[in-house]
Chains A and B, each alone.
Chain A
Amino acid sequence: KQEVTQIPAALSVPEGENLVLNCSFTDSAIYNLQWFRQDPGKGLTSLLLIQSSQREQTSGRLNASLDKSSGRSTLYIAASQPGDSATYLCAHWGFGNEKLTFGTGTRLTIIP
């Protein structure tokens, strides 16, 4: 059974710093990987999708990378802002599996 782990579970950093969030999965046979953010009590907002043939995707201050061989994905946030405070979740489709497996999430707090 695929397990997806995100470490750390919580992270606090001062505004303006660059930071990296980690996502580890046990089975390297993943189809694609998607990063989301979730504000408290709300739904999920899609941030980036890395397709199976890709190694990274960028959107604004966000960069997500995928290394299937090591079972890891990272989300890099540059020049962090208080508005980046949220819980960040990674999730992936497996081959032949029509449902997403979600990570445990990292709760990020940016300190003004």
Chain B
Amino acid sequence: SAVISQKPSRDICQRGTSLTIQCQVDSQVTMMFWYRQQPGQSLTLIATANQGSEATYESGFVIDKFPISRPNLTFSTLTVSNMSPEDSSIYLCSVGKGTGDAEKLFFGSGTQLSVL
């Protein structure tokens, strides 16, 4: 299994500001994933972060808006830049443990973001 510490757990931010979310894993992992969950919706993958390379972003998400850092194998940050009320969501980091079809995804506790 994996224990993931994510912070902050929640924040209320002003329009136009930026928030950086941190994710710390208790073991080394190759890939870390960042998801967004808009109110009443399921999860949407923002990007996949590999240590030592640039993150891979999904369609509809860009690096300028959601810059990601991955300085080592246990840590990653996601920044939500120039926020607007439409960015109000739960943001979650996750990691996979196991190999092949035994790979299981584990999640942090989430960051509930409200933008005024």
One of B4, B10, B104, B109 near A34 (C-beta < 8 A): B104
Residues of chain B contacted by A89 (CB below 8 angstroms): 42-43
Task: Name the interface size band of chain A.
Answer: 20 to 34
Per DSSP, are chain A's interface residues mostly helix, strand or loop, or mixed? Answer: strand
Q: B112 within 8 Å of A by Cβ? A: yes
Q: Which residue of chain A is the closest to B1 with respect to CB atoms?
A: A46
Task: Name the interface size band of chain B.
Answer: 20 to 34
Per DSSP, are chain B's interface residues mostly helix, strand or loop, or mixed? Answer: strand
B42 touches A105 (CB 8 A): yes
A residues 44-68 touching B (CB-CB < 8 Å): 44-46, 49, 51-53
Interface centre among B4, B6, B42, B109 (most CB of A within 10 A): B42
B residues 73-108 touching A (CB-CB < 8 Å): 90, 92, 94, 101-108
1/0 contact string of A32-44 vs chain B (CB within 8 Å): 1010100001111
1/0 contact string of B44-59 vs chain A (CB within 8 Å): 0100100000000010
Mark B residues whose CB is within 8 Å of A: 4, 6, 10, 31, 33, 42-43, 45, 48, 58, 90, 92, 94, 101-110, 112
Mark A residues whose CB is within 8 Å of B: 31-32, 34, 36, 41-46, 49, 51-53, 89, 91, 93, 98-100, 102-105
Supplied contacts A44-B92, A99-B58, A102-B42, 14 more A-B pairs, CB within 8 Å = A32-B101, A32-B103, A34-B104, A41-B90, A41-B110, A42-B110, A43-B4, A43-B108, A45-B107, A46-B107, A51-B101, A91-B43, A99-B33, A105-B42
